[in-house]
Every structure is written in structure tokens, then in C-alpha cells.
Structure 1
Amino acid sequence: MSVPAAVTRVLVCEDQGLVRAGFVTILDSQPDIEVVGEAVDGRAAIRQAEQLKPDVVVMDIRMPLLDGIEATRHLAGPESASPARILVVTTFNVDEYVYEALRAGASGFMLKDAPPPELINAVRTVARGESLLAPAVTRALIGRFAERVRPSAAAASPERDRLGVLTPREQEVLLLISEGLSNAEIAAALVISHETVKTYVSRILTKLDLRDRVQAVVLAYRAGLAGGGEGHRRS
């Protein structure tokens, strides 16, 4: 007798009715996904997330009463006792608020006009505890926000101290992650196997007490490891 697959419970938070209805229809069409609630503003998103305990929260950024960034910070930030898994949706590829949403604790983001299969895959990816930040998106974010993200030397010092637990090789891998390289690209750049890269990434996240690659990218910039032009790749 086969064991039924676990169903991912999703809360959809979106103030535009047509968009919200579209998300609900797409997700509810999947046998392994169930939309358990809908919210039209940030306050309702927090209230329903705390009541329903969904596996994934699909969160719009621009909502009334309380925006998606603050709602994400409340549900997934460092002060949250039980951080939620947040998938941020946005209208623009490099929305000016996306970086702040990722810093607030989101596990990743995608575009509102992405094809339905991408939304479904994104929810499944985040539900598995993985981050969803495509290399191309990482590069775009870095290109637009590098100057804003890069801290002063004094501000970067505490974050830089955290990196002391990493070996030189692990710091090299972290740098490549922050540059937007996928595991396959890191493997090619360092001439190592894909499985070895996965092991390095896992060790980095564990040592730095980070949830996913998104947080790793943010820390690399805040520590001054990335964005300063001092990193290098092996040929």
C-alpha cells in the first residue's frame, strides 16, 4: 500500500482580487497543494498565518495597511519563534523592495506574470525548505543594489567576524554564491563535483546558522566579502 504524498498548505496574500484568484486556482489545481487561506493586506496575512500555520505563504510586497515586507519580517524574521516560509511575488524583475523582503526573511521571490508551472514549482521548492533565488535574479539584484548593500568598514566588522568560522575554501564558495552562481557553475569554476559543492553549501549554512542561500548572499554583502571587487574565481 503506497503512502499518500504530503499536501503543502498555502496561504495566498495578495490585494488584487484577480491576481489572488489566479494564484488560488493554479495552486488548488495540484493534488499536492491546498490553499488554506487568503489575505488582502499585511495585517490579515499575519493574522491568518499565525492561525492557519501554512507550509508556505505566497506574499505580495505592495499591500494596504501593512506591506509585505513588514508582514514577512514579523512572520519570518529573527524575532519569530517559528519562522514561516515566505515566497514573495512582485511585479518587476528587480523591484526596489525585493532586497528588503529577502533581508526580512523571505525564502525567495518570483514574478507575478510567471507561467503557472513556475509558481507551482516555486511553492514546492520553498515548501522543501530550499531557497528560490535564481542566479540571474541574484546578479540583477547585485547590479542594482550593490552600493546600497555594501556597508561601511565599521558596520561590516561584526558580520565579517562571523565568517571566521569558515575555511578559506568555504569562503570562496560563499563568494561565488553571492555572485549568483548556481551549484553547477560553482563546480565548474572550482573544478570540483556537484555533490562536493552541495556539501560545502550545507556546511556554510550550518556554520553560519543561516536558513538558505538567500540569507547567505545577504550576509556576504553585509560582511563586505562580496561586492568589493576583491573576490576571484579560479580559471
Structure 2
Amino acid sequence: MLPSGRPAPGVALIDPVPLYREGLAALVRRTPGLRWLGSTGDPHSAVRLHGRLRPDVLLVDSVLDPAGHLARLLVERDPALVIIGLVRDAHTRGNYVTTALDAGVRGVVPRSAQPGDVARVITETCRSRAFVHPELRAKDRPTLTRREYQVLALIAEGLENQHVATELVVSVETVRTHVKGILRKLDARDRTHAVSLAYRSGLLLGCPPVLE
């Protein structure tokens, strides 16, 4: 039991490879603070599995849900469900992570990651409700300059352009120029949308690599 008296989060898996299912089951069982509930290799039985086991955390192989349709359906049924995408190598580029997060996936980790990394992503996603593995942060989002990232981070804190300019010791016009660049690179409608996209893609979850 957890300190609060609640049971440890129950984990289930949807993956087509029996060996991977067995391996993850063993990993979860030996990870303190997690409970293994079960798995299936058939995405069509995912809804039944969720209804039967009621997991707190559900890991899904990205090849079984590349467009996020299954994730969206399950989250609509159970908003408290934490879905973690196990990202195949073929999906580490392009917009898979953004698509998955938009669909309600809470965390993403390379399917080929070391067991300890997978366990860490499960526990961290349960704790923070959002986690993008570092290997995926740099591959699935636009790259901002260092100054653009600084401006975006300050905007995320609620600062207006004048206050951002004061904080960075630059002109307001310079800040406006950076904001325009951020909106263009993120394909965002406005500042609020840019911040939302940045969090969902992992850009503001940690300290991502940026251009000088």
C-alpha cells in the first residue's frame, strides 16, 4: 500500500509480442510501488481488458495505435486512466509524440528503452501525469533557438512581452520577433496555444536541446 493508504497503481499492457508482454510483467512485478494486472496482444480487446481490469496505467505499443484513436476512446471512457505509449523506432520521427499526447496519452518512452528507463517512465508519469522520455523530446518537435526557448519559458510563466523584455534585458520589439518565430515553428495560433503545444510535445518538460 502507498503511504496515503491507496493501493499501488495497477499496470496493464497492450502489445503484440508475447516475449515483451512477459518481460514487462516481470519488470512491473519487481518494481516497488506498482502492481501488474495483465495484458493482451489484441488491440480490439483493449476496451474489454480495460473494463475487466480497470488499470490505473495502460501501456500501448505505438504500432497498435499510431493515430491515437484507441487512446482517445479509452480516455473518454476513463479520464483518470494514464496511458503510456511504447514508441517503435519507426515512430521516433515525425509527429507521433504530438499526436499521441493530443489524443490523451500521458507519457511516451522508446519501446527499446532499457527496463529501468521504462519503469522510471511509468512511475514518473503516474507522479507528474506527463512525461516524455528525453530521447523522444529532441526527435519529435521543432528546435528553438536558445533565446526563443527562454522567451517561451517566460511566457509559460504568465509574463507579458514587456516583462519578458525586462527579464531578458532586450527590447520589446525583439521579444515580439522571437514570439513570431515561436508561433511559426510550433504552428501555434497564439501565445497560449504555443505554451500548450510546447508542454504536450515535451518541449517545456525539462531542458531540451536548442540551437545557439
Using structure 1 for the length normalisation, give the TM-score.
0.56
Residue 86 of structure 2 is matched in structure 1 by: 89
- Matched AA of 2:50: A
Displacement of 1:70 after TM fit?
Answer: 1.7
SS state of the match for residue 48, structure 1? helix
Q: Is 1:123 the counterpart of 2:89 in the alignment? A: no
Displacement of 1:61 after TM fit?
Answer: 1.5
Residue 31 of structure 1 is matched in structure 2 by: 32
Unaligned runs of 5+ in 1: 147-167, 176-189, 192-219, 228-235
- Matched AA of 1:89: L
94-103 or 33-42, larger mean C-alpha shift: 94-103
Q: Is 1:71 the counterpart of 2:70 in the alignment? A: yes
Is this contact kept in 1: 2:56–2:80, CA < 8 A?
A: no
SS state of the match for residue 63, structure 2? coil
Displacement of 1:51 after TM fit?
Answer: 2.5
CA distance in 1, matches of 2:29, 2:67: 22
Residue 114 of structure 1 is matched in structure 2 by: 113
CA distance in 1, matches of 2:85, 2:27: 16
Displacement of 1:43 after TM fit?
Answer: 2.0
Which has the larger Rg?
A: 2
SS state of the match for residue 32, structure 1? coil
Displacement of 1:27 after TM fit?
Answer: 1.1
Aligned length in residues: 159
Q: Residue 35 and residue 81 in structure 1: after superposition, are their counterparts in 2 closer, same or farther (change >3 A)?
A: closer
Instruction: State the Cα RMSD in Å.
Output: 3.5
Residue 58 of structure 2 is matched in structure 1 by: 57
SS state of the match for residue 142, structure 2? helix
- Matched AA of 1:84: L
CA distance in 2, matches of 1:68, 1:33: 28
Displacement of 1:14 after TM fit?
Answer: 0.5
Using structure 2 for the length normalisation, give the TM-score.
0.61
Alignment of 1:179-198 (within 5 A): none
Q: Residue 136 and residue 172 in structure 1: after superposition, are their counterparts in 2 closer, same or farther (change >3 A)?
A: farther
CA distance in 1, matches of 2:189, 2:48: 34
CA distance in 2, matches of 1:84, 1:95: 26
CA distance in 2, matches of 1:169, 1:132: 19
CA distance in 2, matches of 1:68, 1:39: 19
Q: Residue 56 and residue 81 in structure 1: after superposition, are their counterparts in 2 closer, same or farther (change >3 A)?
A: closer
Displacement of 1:114 after TM fit?
Answer: 1.0
Residue 173 of structure 1 is matched in structure 2 by: 156
Alignment of 1:16-27 (within 5 A): 16-27=17-28
- Matched AA of 1:46: V
- Matched AA of 1:90: V
SS state of the match for residue 92, structure 2? coil
CA distance in 2, matches of 1:83, 1:223: 29
CA distance in 1, matches of 2:67, 2:28: 20
Q: Give a deviation string over 1:156-192, Cα, whole Å, max 9, x none.
A: xxxxxxxxxxxx99871279xxxxxxxxxxxxxx68x
Is this contact kept in 2: 1:12–1:35, CA < 8 A?
A: no
- Matched AA of 2:18: G
CA distance in 1, matches of 2:123, 2:106: 12
Aligned sequence identity (%): 19
